[in-house]
Structure 1
Amino acid sequence: MIAHELSFLHDYYYSSLPTSYSSSWLPILSISISLLTMGLSLLYLLLITVVILLYAFMGWPHHGQMQCFLNCHPSFQNEHEDFFYSSSNQIQYGNIFFDLAPVGLLAALVVLSEVREIACYIFSNWTKVFLICSYVRHASSWQKSHWKKKMLSLVLRRKCKLLNHWVDKMNQCSVLALHPSTTPVPLLGRLIPLLHRKKVPRAVKAALLKPLRSPNWKNRSNGVASLCTRLQLQADNNPLSTSNGVKGVADTMLVAHIATSILEVRTSEPLRQADSANEIAATHLSRYCAYLVAYVPDLLPDNNEWCKSLYKGIKKKAKRALAASGNTGQASLSPEALVQALSAGSEEAHDLLKNGAELRKKLVELAGNEGEEVAWELLAEFWSEMILYAAPSDNVAAHAEAIARGGELITLLWALLTHLGFISRPEAAMPNTPGDV
């Protein structure tokens, strides 16, 4: 339902459908123009096909794109007779098919474009709303007409993938490369950043809905307080406190992202169990929040340019720290060696990298005492509360641009929370001060 609502928002900003349905005859006029354009284009394609067949199979002479005629008229005269003769040569350059083929291709593209336009009108949500309203206003006549009921059923049941503005995918990126590669494609990706888009797992959806169903979520915590309480973090050893340089949403996300990424690295085991639902939710939301900080910070409460520069700085320092340890990637390090490399006291290390490594140590201690699944459950709850905290926004234009790109998970959450009455972030809950723990 939220996805359908966002499709209306997309059409409001980027489509002529709302204007077209302001009057009942405008869609009919638009479809008629599209059908006329398709008919003319198909007629032209038919004529081109006939001409090509005549040239190919009927022995018609081929005509070039350019023709050159050379005419010679030499003459001479004597005292008895006059002699005159003439000759002409015709030279052709190119082939007429080089003219017909591009125009035929253009006509075919016009036909496809008009087919898409007609599909947008017939199977759009605007058409469905229009038909439902007509059915309600004229229920008696619609119920008596068999073809009207059949048409309504056909349109309501059909979905056009071309109109699917929400693709149910989430972008993923990471400060620490989990599986670096030397193949040409990943090497090209280092020059041109390529994002990984993954289908939103069921575990992520379940984790996001869990806090909304809790009666205590009305306080809308960002997840930091509960995380610090479970890990028994005090003022002097809290890697998420403002005294350790964590001052905003982006800082908190990156510190927790680094801790989650390191915890995800495991020593090689002969029999490795499948990832649990909590681990899937935590890792996917962690990488998605890193993507938000790096590429779409306008959907977050912090400053755009500051978020981008923060992410680039941490990523650069992480590469230097790993290179200083003699390793080029995270996959070649054990978790302990990775923590040591990132938490080194050299100037190559970034404060947030150290905080992330320290937070991972606390999570490992919790996993050792209560089990690894408990640690992943805690992280899944934290990431769910964090992204739900960051989702409310008054930047409608940024969310509209996100919808035009195919939609963002945080945009769906923004729309959902707006319906629940949460239209702004509780600013008082954000500071990660020791008193919040």
Structure 2
Amino acid sequence: MLEKYWYKNLEPIPEGLKKRIFDQLKNASSISGIRVSKKLFACTEDDDEAKKCFHNLAQSMEVDFDQTILRWHIATDLCHYRDMYNDSETVKSLICMSKLFSNYLVYLLVMCPYMLPSGIGKIRFQDTCAEAIEFIEERDYISDENKACEVLFKVNMEIPPSQIKGDRSKSVLFDACTVAQSLQFLQTRNNWETEQKWERISQVWVEMLSYAASQCSWNYHARRLRQGGELLTHVWLLMAHLGITEHFQISRGHLRAKLFLS
């Protein structure tokens, strides 16, 4: 319990992040699943290697929601390592927003799991931490976070992790490496600008945040108000205002005729 609060810190919500959420929700017709993300990574290439990468990214959206959060959280960190010295202000802004979304959803996964769709998020989180610690301790030359990211980015992922370790461990560490490597490959393969890659990553995170808000029960939103409220609740209310959540759907019902006697 002490460790959980020790690593918790408060961050102000940047105006750019608010605008990003509003603009993406305004263009959404419904939030019933993580669909837009799959479209972002729909395969339009004939190259087998590109098809494989698009498949890996689309598949990362089709697993349990807690698994999706952890995969993309680690992949976002790895991509940040690759692009941390980029001079573009737009890229820096997109990285900052993506990191804030990423850290916030992991915070909810660990501290407020009842606000997210049911799953085994804590078990996955603990197993992933344990595998990361073991991976780093086995390599004396890993001296800091950047070196760890560099080594993870180069891990050979030709054989899926599930075939190596089976299902005893729920860790998603190496699945996340696959996501990061696929993003980097597609950036190189399609001549994406770094901004284009981070635009897609930030869109994925806004969609995950929106999906989480739509799935959280109203009484859990109310429960968190006693601790000052959550960004998730603000997103939920915005979605209700825009008419893209099932919590506040009002049917028109039957039409009634009003008669006037003269």
TM-score range, shorter chain: 0.7 to 0.9
Residue of 66, 70, 74 corresponding to 1:254: 70
Compute the displacement of 1:363 (Å). Answer: 1.4
Residue of 352, 360, 368 corresponding to 2:180: 360
Show CA shifts across 1:243-264 (max 9, x none). x895221111111111111001
Please give the secondary structure, in 2, of the residue aligned with 1:319.
Answer: helix
Contact 2:42 / 2:54 at 8 angstroms: preserved in 1?
no
Please give the secondary structure, in 2, of the residue aligned with 1:392.
Answer: helix
Compute the displacement of 1:391 (Å). Answer: 0.7
Please give the secondary structure, in 1, of the residue aligned with 2:206.
Answer: helix
Please give the secondary structure, in 2, of the residue aligned with 1:199.
Answer: coil
Cα pair distance change 1:412/1:278, threshold 3 Å: same
Cα pair distance change 1:401/1:203, threshold 3 Å: same
1:225 and 2:60 are equivalent in the alignment: no
Residue of 55, 69, 84 corresponding to 1:238: 55
Partner of residue 277, structure 1: 93
Partner of residue 316, structure 1: 130
Segments of 5+ residues of structure 1 without an aligned counterpart are 1-188, 426-437
Partner of residue 198, structure 1: 11
Show CA shifts across 1:182-213 (max 9, x none). xxxxxxx7586421221111221121112122
Partner of residue 145, structure 2: 330
Contact 2:113 / 2:121 at 8 angstroms: preserved in 1?
yes
Please give the secondary structure, in 2, of the residue aligned with 1:200.
Answer: coil
Compute the displacement of 1:410 (Å). Answer: 0.5
Contact 2:37 / 2:61 at 8 angstroms: preserved in 1?
no
What does residue range 9-158 of structure 1 map to in structure 2 within 5 Å? Answer: none
Please give the secondary structure, in 2, of the residue aligned with 1:406.
Answer: coil
1:391 and 2:218 are equivalent in the alignment: no
More strand by percentage: 1
Partner of residue 374, structure 1: 196
Compute the displacement of 1:341 (Å). Answer: 5.1
Letter in 1 for 2:233: T
Show CA shifts across 1:197-254 (max 9, x none). 211112211211121222xx21435243123227967579733566x89522111111
1:287 and 2:103 are equivalent in the alignment: yes
Aligned length, in residue pairs: 230
Structure 1: distance between partners of 2:25 and 2:7: 33
Please give the secondary structure, in 2, of the residue aligned with 1:356.
Answer: helix
Partner of residue 253, structure 2: none
Structure 2: distance between partners of 1:196 and 1:316: 23
Show CA shifts across 1:359-405 (max 9, x none). 11121123331111110011111111121122124622221221111
Please give the secondary structure, in 2, of the residue aligned with 1:276.
Answer: helix
1:403 and 2:225 are equivalent in the alignment: yes
Segments of 5+ residues of structure 2 without an aligned counterpart are 248-262
Cα pair distance change 1:263/1:230, threshold 3 Å: farther
Please give the secondary structure, in 1, of the residue aligned with 2:220.
Answer: helix
* TM-score normalized by the length of structure 2: 0.73
Cα pair distance change 1:292/1:240, threshold 3 Å: farther
Q: Report which structure shows greater RCO (CA 8 Å, sep ≥6).
A: 2
Show CA shifts across 1:24-72 (max 9, x none). xxxxxxxxxxxxxxxxxxxxxxxxxxxxxxxxxxxxxxxxxxxxxxxxx
Structure 2: distance between partners of 1:254 and 1:204: 21
Query: Once superposed, which parts of structure 1, at least 4 consecutive aligned residues long, lie more than 4 Å away?
Result: 189-192, 230-237, 271-275, 341-351
Show CA shifts across 1:99-158 (max 9, x none). xxxxxxxxxxxxxxxxxxxxxxxxxxxxxxxxxxxxxxxxxxxxxxxxxxxxxxxxxxxx
Compute the displacement of 1:300 (Å). Answer: 1.1
Structure 2: distance between partners of 1:350 and 1:342: 20
Structure 1: distance between partners of 2:4 and 2:211: 34
Contact 1:387 / 1:410 at 8 angstroms: preserved in 2?
yes
Compute the displacement of 1:349 (Å). Answer: 8.2
Cα pair distance change 1:202/1:259, threshold 3 Å: same
Contact 1:299 / 1:399 at 8 angstroms: preserved in 2?
yes
1:209 and 2:22 are equivalent in the alignment: yes
Structure 2: distance between partners of 1:372 and 1:236: 17
Identity %: 21
Show CA shifts across 1:297-335 (max 9, x none). 1111124xx2222212212212222222332642333x4
Cα pair distance change 1:213/1:376, threshold 3 Å: same
Partner of residue 110, structure 1: none
Cα pair distance change 1:395/1:240, threshold 3 Å: same
Structure 1 vs Structure 2 CA RMSD: 3.3
